[in-house]
């Protein structure tokens, strides 16, 4: 049959997570269609049509989808589900929000955060905060899947899929959007940045994160944080890297003042290169770091910045 | 208004899970077990609602082995009023849990169900959403702040871009995120009192739910291991080594 990918976007731009989910979908069931639901999403649908490996884009343009609230999204996806044997979404907060509702109504188990498609019905997924990997086989019938997008690469080349409008499926009127407080940043997003620099409890305050910002600006890096730093109120929740926050796998991850609790490691240990700065040489972060520096971060960060300047960054 | 708090017995969050040599699963023999931390946040939130006069009764529900009654006792010692233990052997998948909880909700008619956003063993992040869908209720996942209104609740949610507030009609399902509250410790007198609070024992069959797993676990393996690299002496050396390695 075919698979349906629920696009991740902010109303204006299509997120990278969509292309990576398309890659996973193509390994399960082809052709791949992408559902773009939102309000005024013409440009997003056009961008989805250009993704490699996409045959058709379904555009559901209606005010009720503006914030991708769970209940109307459930109704929309279910109205289209008949034609697909696999329905996938990236394991973002919006994917995690709606997909289990879809699975429940289809009476099928959801397979969460797949890391690998072993065969069209068999998948690898992390359990126990990434301390174990389960290989699971889905029963016959429709599959509902969320995808850990750091484990898949976006397809290469460009596509030219047709964009087709689909009807809105109604609003059950159970909930409504009130407001949003989004972090504004000129920097790349945590989950798609090539370089991530994160601070932990060792940063001591939110103001001290500007030491990381300076390095991030030079390297075009995203800034993240450990749970301890978020819990302490240094930075907002959307900075959190870890099993229950964001999972990242950049080319370079720099952990500063982060001890390396299991749940933090679960969110970054698939990074290509890991560098760590911590004054405690026993910190568990050094057991996974390719390059470790035992030092006071308040001395090390300005020195790093200087060296980067010297090298022309 | 009744509040139902599902509580799962899982490996303690301080214990590192070890994969069994035969790859059949994670070794749980002689491992410390505790209440799923996100569920603990759910219990705390329910108790706070009761303290504010917004909830009348808190029912802690656990689906699991006989020892899950200890997890319910923990919730009772924190301040829940009574418990329901649905006894099962082996793993129960989120969809089956949601079906059992749906039957309990139909019998108890709560105004709110507060679940953890995920359990730290299977990391599924499904049960609350599935329950809401099966009941035809609204949901507010990843709750950061909960404000009860008249027949509705405003919930601030932790989303990838920051925070989002939605209004849900009651009854509703709320799933907790880390910063909703800090759960209390049960005091000794409350632990003693909890021993007298009632726990109903049930089976999935009482609710007409088949809990046979639908996903087949073919194997459970260790993740690829990383090994410690080298230590550098100065920050400048760190930058140079990273550049050499092609990191930027």
CATH number (domain holding residue A125): 3.40.50.620
Q: Do A204 and A151 share a structural domain?
A: no
Q: Residue B94: is its pLDDT beyond 90? A: yes
Selection from A222, A270, A172, A133 nearest residue B160 by Cα: A222
Task: Give the residue on A whose Cα is nearest the Cα of B139.
Answer: A70
The two tokens of residue B100 are: 């059992």
Express each pLDDT in A35-60 by its tens digit: 999 999 999 999 999 999 999 999 99
A132 interaction partners in chain B (CB closer than 8 Å): 17, 19, 26, 220-223
Q: Does the distance separating the beta carbons of A93 and B178 come in below 8 Å?
A: no
pLDDT band at A243 (very low <50, low <70, confident <90, very high): confident
Quick one: A155 and A205 in the same domain? no
Nearest CB to A238; choose among B162, B218, B232: B162
Q: Which residue in the set A70, A133, A304 is minimally distant from B238, CB to CB?
A: A304
- Decide if A131 and B159 are in contact by the 8 Å CB cutoff: no
How are beta strands A3-6 and A86-90 bridged, if at all? parallel
Q: Is the pLDDT of residue A264 over 90?
A: yes
Q: Is B16 on the interface with A (CB under 8 A)?
A: yes
Q: Kindly list the domain boundaries of chain B, sorted by start residue.
A: 2-244
Q: Is-contact A134 A140, C-beta < 8 A?
A: no
Q: Domain check: are A94 and A231 in the same one?
A: no
pLDDT at B114 over 90: yes
Percentage of chain B with pLDDT > 90? 95
Residue A312 has pLDDT above 90, yes or no: yes
Which residues 239-268 of A are in CB contact (within 8 Å) with B?
Answer: 243-244, 246, 251-252, 262-263
Tell me, what's the pLDDT at A308? 97
- Interface residue A278 vs chain B (CB under 8 A): no
- Same-domain status, A206 and A295: yes
For B217, which of A93, A136, A139 is closest by C-beta distance?
A136
Residue A31 domain flag:
yes
Q: Tally A–B CB contacts below 8 A.
A: 271
Integer Cα distance of A261 and A131 in angstroms: 12
A185: in domain: no
Domain B2-244 fold: Rossmann fold (3.40.50)
Of A165, A184, A213, which closes a domain?
A165
Look at residue B16 and tell me whether its pLDDT is greater than 90: no
Residues A293 and A153 grouped into a single domain: no
Q: With an 8 Å Cβ cutoff, is B115 touching chain A? A: no
Backbone angles phi, psi at B193, to 5 degrees: -60, -35
Whether residue B130 lies within 8 A of chain A, CB to CB, comes out as yes
Please identify, among A165, A186, A218, the residue that sits at the C-terminal boundary of a domain: A165
B158: nearest CB among A237, A294, A306: A237
Angstrom distance (rounded) from CA A142 to CA A106: 8
What residues in A contact B17, CB-CB < 8 Å?
Answer: 127-129, 131-132
Q: Give the mean pLDDT of chain A.
A: 96
Q: What is the pLDDT of residue A185?
A: 81
pLDDT higher than threshold 90 for residue B48? yes
Report yes or no: B21 at the A interface, CB cutoff 8 Å.
no
pLDDT at A199 over 90: yes
Is A1 within 8 Å of chain B by CB?
no
Q: What percent of chain B has a predicted confidence (pLDDT) above 70?
A: 100
Query: Residue A25 — very low, low, confident or very high, per pLDDT cuts 50/70/90?
Result: very high
Residue A263 has a pLDDT of 85
Which positions 61-120 of A are in contact with B (Cβ < 8 Å)?
67, 69-71, 74, 92-94, 96-105, 107-113
In whole angstroms, give the CA distance from residue B137 to residue B168.
Answer: 9
Which residues in chain A are contacts of B117 at CB distance < 8 A?
244
Task: Give me the domain span that covers residue A222.
Answer: 195-310
> Which residues of chain B make contact with A226, given a CB cutoff of 8 A?
none
B91 contacts B84 by C-beta, under 8 angstroms: no
- For residue B109, pLDDT over 90 is answered with yes
Are A101 and A141 found together in one domain?
A: yes
Residue A259 lies in a domain: yes
pLDDT of B126 reads: 98
**Does A14 fall in a domain?**
yes
pLDDT for res B84 = 98
Count of domains forming chain A: 2
Quick one: A140 and A210 in the same domain?
no
Residue at A150 is within a domain: yes
Give the integer Cα–Cα distance in Å for B215 and A306: 54
Average pLDDT over residues A229-252: 93
A150 shares a domain with A202: no
pLDDT band at B82 (very low <50, low <70, confident <90, very high): very high
First to last CA, chain B: 57
Q: For residues A59-79, give the mean pLDDT.
A: 97
Across the range A107-125, mean pLDDT stands at 98
Is residue B148 scored above 90 in pLDDT? yes
Give percent above pLDDT 70 in chain A.
100
By CB atoms closer than 10 A (0-12, 13-18, 19+), residue B55 is buried
The answer to whether residue A19 is domain-embedded is yes
Does residue A1 surpass a pLDDT of 90?
no
Q: How far away is chain B from the Cα of A276, in angstroms, using its nearest Cα?
A: 9
Query: With 90 as the cut, is the pLDDT of residue B225 above it?
Result: no
Q: Is the pLDDT of residue A192 over 90?
A: no
**Which strands form A122-127's sheet, in the order they lie side by side?**
A116-119, A122-127, A132-137, B216-221
Contact B242 A109 (CB under 8 A): no
- Residue A190 domain-assigned? no
pLDDT above 90 as % of chain A? 93
Q: How far is CA A66 from CA A45, A60, B12, B102, in A?
A: 14, 10, 40, 29
Q: Which residues pair with A57 in a beta bridge?
A: A34, A163
| B95 with A110: Cβ contact below 8 A | yes
User: Residue A257 is part of a domain; what is its CATH number?
Assistant: 3.40.50.1220
pLDDT band at A186 (very low <50, low <70, confident <90, very high): confident
> Distance from B166 to chain A by nearest Cα, in Å?
5
pLDDT confidence of A205, banded at 50, 70, 90? very high
**What number is the average pLDDT over the span B171-182?**
96
Q: How far, in Å, CA of A225 to CA of A286, rounded?
A: 17
């Amino acid at each position: 049959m075919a698979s349906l990918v629920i696009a991740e976007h902010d109303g204006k731009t299509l997120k990278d997570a969509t292309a990576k989910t398309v890659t996973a979908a193509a390994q399960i069931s082809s052709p791949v269609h992408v559902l773009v639901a939102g309000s005024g999403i013409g440009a997003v649908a056009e961008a989805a049509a250009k993704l490699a490996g996409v045959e058709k884009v379904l555009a559901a343009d209606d005010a009720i989808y503006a914030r991708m609230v769970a209940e109307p999204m459930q109704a929309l996806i279910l109205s289209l589900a008949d034609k697909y044997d696999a329905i996938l979404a990236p394991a973002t907060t919006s994917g995690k929000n709606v997909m289990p509702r879809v699975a429940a109504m289809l009476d099928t188990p959801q397979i969460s955060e797949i890391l690998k498609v072993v065969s069209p019905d068999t998948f690898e997924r992390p359990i126990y905060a990434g301390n174990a990997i389960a290989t699971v086989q889905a029963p016959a019938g429709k599959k509902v899947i969320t995808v850990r997008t750091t484990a898949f690469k976006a397809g290469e080349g460009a596509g030219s899929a047709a964009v087709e409008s689909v009807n809105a499926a109604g609003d059950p009127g159970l909930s409504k959007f009130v407001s949003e407080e989004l972090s504004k940043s000129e920097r790349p997003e945590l989950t798609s940045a090539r370089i991530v620099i994160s601070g932990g409890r060792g940063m001591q305050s939110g103001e001290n994160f500007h030491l990381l910002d300076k390095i991030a600006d030079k390297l075009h890096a995203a800034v993240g944080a450990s749970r301890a730093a978020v819990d302490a109120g240094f930075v907002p929740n959307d900075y959190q890297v870890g099993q229950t926050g964001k999972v990242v796998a950049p080319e370079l991850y720099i952990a500063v003042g982060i001890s390396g609790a299991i749940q933090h490691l679960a969110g970054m240990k698939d990074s290509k290169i890991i560098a760590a700065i911590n004054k405690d040489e026993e910190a568990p972060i050094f057991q996974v770091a390719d390059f470790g520096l035992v030092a006071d971060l308040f001395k090390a960060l300005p020195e790093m910045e200087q060296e980067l300047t010297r090298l022309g960054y | 208004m009744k509040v139902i708090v599902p509580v799962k017995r899982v490996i303690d969050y301080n214990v590192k899970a070890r994969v069994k040599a035969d790859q059949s699963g994670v070794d749980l023999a002689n491992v410390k077990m505790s209440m799923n931390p996100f569920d603990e946040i759910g219990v705390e939130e329910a108790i706070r609602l009761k303290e504010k006069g917004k909830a009348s009764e808190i029912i802690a529900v656990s689906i699991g082995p006989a020892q899950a009654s200890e997890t319910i006792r923990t919730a009772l010692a924190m301040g829940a009023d009574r418990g329901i233990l649905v006894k099962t052997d082996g793993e129960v998948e989120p969809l089956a849990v949601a079906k059992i909880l749906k039957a309990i909700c139909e019998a108890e008619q709560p105004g709110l169900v507060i679940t953890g956003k995920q359990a730290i063993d299977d990391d599924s992040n499904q049960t609350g959403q599935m329950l809401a869908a099966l009941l035809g209720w609204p949901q507010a996942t990843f709750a950061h702040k909960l404000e009860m209104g008249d027949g509705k609740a405003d919930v601030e949610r932790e989303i990838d871009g920051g925070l989002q507030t939605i209004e849900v009609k009651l009854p509703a399902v709320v799933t907790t995120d880390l910063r909703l509250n800090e759960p209390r410790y049960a005091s000794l007198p409350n632990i003693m009192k909890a021993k007298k609070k009632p726990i109903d024992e049930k089976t999935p069959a009482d609710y007409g739910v088949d809990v046979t797993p639908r996903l087949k676990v073919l194997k459970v393996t260790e993740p690829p291991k990383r090994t410690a690299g080298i230590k550098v002496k100065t920050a400048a050396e760190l930058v140079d080594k990273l550049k050499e390695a092609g990191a930027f």
